[in-house]
Chain A
Amino acid sequence: MRAGWIALGMVFAGTVHAQAPWSPADLDTIASMRLSQVPAAPADASNRHERDPRAIALGKELFFDERFSKPGNVSCATCHQPAFQFQDGKPRGRAIGETPRRTQPLAHVAHNAWFFWDGRKDSLWAQALAPLEDAREHGGTRALYAHLVAEHYRAEYEAVFGPLPDLSNVPRDAGPKGTTAERVAWRALDKTVQLAVSRVFANLGKAIAAYERTLVHTPSRFDRYAEALVRGKPRLDESERLTREEETGLALFIGRGRCNTCHTGPLMTDHYFHSTRVPPREPGRPDLGRYLGADEALADEFNCLGAFSDAQPAQCRELRFIVHGDPLLKRAFKTPGLRGVATRAPYMHAGQLASLARVIAHYAEAPESLPAERRIVQGHVMGSELLPLKLSDKEAAALVAFLATLDSTTIERATAVAKPE
């Protein structure tokens, strides 16, 4: 008798899920979150090689080539590991030394207008140059990379970018960001030689960016569910179902939890910067995030308006209309996408939160969130953009369960199921 009831309950569950009580507005929101709704990545006018298959192939080689580092054992993939969504699961990125922030995953990265947690780079190719010259990451100089290209990828490089410059008088270790000796060696070079070496360096970034543009998410359990809902299937197959708890989490995510205000659209990010006041890694010394990042992007020699960009100045619109110097940007960080999030702890810009349960607890508490009448100080919004969120233990667990339905691995687009561009 009892077994009969359980069996009946299970059959019933199957049909109930197919008719979850979503309002038309909820259904529209859920439909907008499907992976199939990701538009083509915006074109980057500052990189005219980004669709060239030869640039993509060269970029892939460079991404995985450990010779492109001072010690000879660091590549982009040291931290951006393909099997782990092109990140490393560590609180802070680590190669030669430790970086102050967490390694970001790279699927659909080309959809951003700004790169890094603080958006201090305005293109994917300009971004790629930073770790190469960072003493804690690849640790080399642009002169070293120019020599390495000439030695290992001359033909591949020249097919895309034209002849390499004569490097016979360029020392192996010279660059504006290196050690004192490397900087002195760089300054000793003729301006035209400096420019030629920097151009080779910028082109390496453009090839790497062309490769990164191919990285995409695979569809998740959530997508199978949402696609079936949108098609109005009367009964969902086993693989298309979410549990009651997961549905509750989804309802909170798009409803009372207001998660999808910032984590919006199919990539679950608005690609912009928000201050959610995650406790800083070093108490009392908070990372100022976008507040400094915006000014760094404006000052970057490799930005869209710089000498190495392929864009017309009028095309550099993000840079032209950038918000900077606004205290609202203090401690603001780029909203991370949430696909694949459950399998890449720890979380936040410096890996401060060890688990999704801790993340949800952060949203419930909303530290440094001021009541409306104290939010404005001298004309500026202060503190966190979040408002505290009352959640029962069950609801918190449901949000975590929903996030786990966004399972994803990262693949190169050529083999992706997602829409081609």
Chain B
Amino acid sequence: MWRKYVLFPVVGLLAACASAPTALDLSLDKLTKEGKFRVALVAPVPEPAVHQIHDWSIRLMTPDGTPIAKGLVYLNGGMPGHGHGLPTRPITVGETAPGLYRVEGMKFNMPGHWELIVAIQANGTEDFAYFNWMVALPKAR
């Protein structure tokens, strides 16, 4: 059930916008779609390079910012302009602090605009949040 639940929004999102929006909201801290949770994505430092597997963290909170422990948090993504998903299937390995969830196995195989989606099940309810992420061209060598 959970699996099905997370699969659908990802493809839905890929279909939603066929072309990259011009002004992207690059905020990594926002309320979920229906306003049930607040979610902050914590990107790895330094910023993940293309073709490398990296780990992220997700901070799950109530809308007023109280951490939510023991929730189910799932991170996935894709390139809305291309119609394909991530080249890996990330795994949420657990909480490193109450409300701070560690996700391993993210990878980007192309520079450009990626959409990341966080699906949440906690406190007896569920919701989603979408984030935009730009993968830069590799730095000149």
Which one of A8-16, A99-107, A257-265 is at the interface?
A257-265
Please give me the residue from chain A that is nearest to B4 by CB atom: A379
Nearest CB of chain B from residue A314's CB, rounded to whole Å: 10
| Chain A neighbourhood of B84, CB < 8 A | 274, 328, 381, 385
- The distance in angstroms between the C-alpha atoms of A29 and B12, with both chains bound, is 30
A379 near B90 with CB under 8 A, answer: no
A328 near B15 with CB under 8 A, answer: no
B138 near A265 with CB under 8 A, answer: yes
| Chain A neighbourhood of B111, CB < 8 A | 32, 264
Task: Confirm or deny: B23 has a beta carbon within 8 angstroms of a beta carbon on chain A.
Answer: no
Task: Confirm or deny: B14 has a beta carbon within 8 angstroms of a beta carbon on chain A.
Answer: yes
Beyond A261-B110, A270-B110, whether A323 also contacts B85 by CB under 8 A is yes
- The distance in angstroms between the C-alpha atoms of A194 and B138, with both chains bound, is 46
Please give me the residue from chain A that is nearest to B17 by CB atom: A372
Task: Confirm or deny: B83 has a beta carbon within 8 angstroms of a beta carbon on chain A.
Answer: yes
* B6-37 interface (Cβ within 8 A of A): 7-8, 11-12, 14-15, 18
B140 near A372 with CB under 8 A, answer: no
A380 near B141 with CB under 8 A, answer: no
Output the residue of B15, B51, B83, B88 with the most chain A CB within 10 A.
B83
| Chain B neighbourhood of A262, CB < 8 A | 110
A380 near B110 with CB under 8 A, answer: no
Nearest CB of chain B from residue A7's CB, rounded to whole Å: 38
Task: Confirm or deny: A272 has a beta carbon within 8 angstroms of a beta carbon on chain B.
Answer: yes
Number of interface residues of B (CB under 8 A): 34
Contact pick for B53, options A28, A29, A321, A385, CB 8 Å: A321
- The distance in angstroms between the C-alpha atoms of A31 and B141, with both chains bound, is 10
Task: Confirm or deny: B107 has a beta carbon within 8 angstroms of a beta carbon on chain A.
Answer: yes
Please give me the residue from chain B that is nearest to A379 by CB atom: B8
Nearest CB of chain B from residue A397's CB, rounded to whole Å: 26
A264 near B53 with CB under 8 A, answer: no
Give 1 or 0 for each of A114-138: 1 = CB within 8 Å of chain B CB.
0000000000000000000000000
Give 1 or 0 for each of B68-88: 1 = CB within 8 Å of chain A CB.
000000000001011111111
- The distance in angstroms between the C-alpha atoms of A36 and B86, with both chains bound, is 27
Task: Confirm or deny: B48 has a beta carbon within 8 angstroms of a beta carbon on chain A.
Answer: no
Contact pick for B89, options A32, A265, A322, A373, CB 8 Å: A322
Nearest CB of chain B from residue A85's CB, rounded to whole Å: 23
Nearest CB of chain B from residue A111's CB, rounded to whole Å: 8
The DSSP consensus for interface residues of chain B is loop
Task: Confirm or deny: A313 has a beta carbon within 8 angstroms of a beta carbon on chain B.
Answer: no
| Chain B neighbourhood of A28, CB < 8 A | 137
Please give me the residue from chain A that is nearest to B85 by CB atom: A328
Task: Confirm or deny: B91 has a beta carbon within 8 angstroms of a beta carbon on chain A.
Answer: yes
| Chain B neighbourhood of A372, CB < 8 A | 15, 18
A317 near B141 with CB under 8 A, answer: no
- The distance in angstroms between the C-alpha atoms of A237 and B91, with both chains bound, is 52
B86 near A317 with CB under 8 A, answer: no
Task: Confirm or deny: B50 has a beta carbon within 8 angstroms of a beta carbon on chain A.
Answer: yes
Contact pick for B110, options A37, A264, A323, CB 8 Å: A264
B89 near A381 with CB under 8 A, answer: no
| Chain B neighbourhood of A379, CB < 8 A | 4, 7-8, 11-12
| Chain B neighbourhood of A265, CB < 8 A | 50, 138
- The distance in angstroms between the C-alpha atoms of A265 and B18, with both chains bound, is 23
Task: Confirm or deny: B67 has a beta carbon within 8 angstroms of a beta carbon on chain A.
Answer: no
Task: Confirm or deny: A17 has a beta carbon within 8 angstroms of a beta carbon on chain B.
Answer: no
Please give me the residue from chain B that is nearest to A37 by CB atom: B141
Output the residue of B7, B11, B85 with the most chain A CB within 10 A.
B11
- The distance in angstroms between the C-alpha atoms of A32 and B8, with both chains bound, is 35
Beyond A261-B82, A379-B7, A381-B14, whether A321 also contacts B90 by CB under 8 A is yes
| Chain B neighbourhood of A324, CB < 8 A | 89
| Chain B neighbourhood of A230, CB < 8 A | 140
B141 near A376 with CB under 8 A, answer: no
Nearest CB of chain A from residue B17's CB, rounded to whole Å: 10
A381 near B83 with CB under 8 A, answer: yes
B11 near A376 with CB under 8 A, answer: yes
- The distance in angstroms between the C-alpha atoms of A317 and B55, with both chains bound, is 11
Nearest CB of chain A from residue B103's CB, rounded to whole Å: 10
* A19-50 interface (Cβ within 8 A of B): 28-29, 31-32, 36-37, 39
| Chain A neighbourhood of B15, CB < 8 A | 372-373, 375-376, 381
| Chain B neighbourhood of A270, CB < 8 A | 51, 87, 109-110
Nearest CB of chain A from residue B112's CB, rounded to whole Å: 7
Nearest CB of chain B from residue A264's CB, rounded to whole Å: 5
Task: Confirm or deny: B126 has a beta carbon within 8 angstroms of a beta carbon on chain A.
Answer: no
Please give me the residue from chain B that is nearest to A32 by CB atom: B137
- The distance in angstroms between the C-alpha atoms of A48 and B79, with both chains bound, is 36
Nearest CB of chain B from residue A337's CB, rounded to whole Å: 13
Can you name 8 A-B pairs with beta carbons within 8 Å?
Answer: A261-B82, A261-B112, A265-B138, A317-B104, A321-B91, A328-B85, A379-B11, A381-B84
Q: Given A270-B110, A271-B109, 16 more contacts at CB 8 Å?
A: A29-B137, A32-B111, A37-B138, A270-B51, A270-B87, A317-B104, A318-B88, A320-B105, A321-B89, A323-B87, A373-B15, A376-B12, A379-B7, A379-B8, A381-B11, A381-B84
Closest 4 CB pairs of A and B: A321-B105, A321-B88, A270-B109, A272-B109
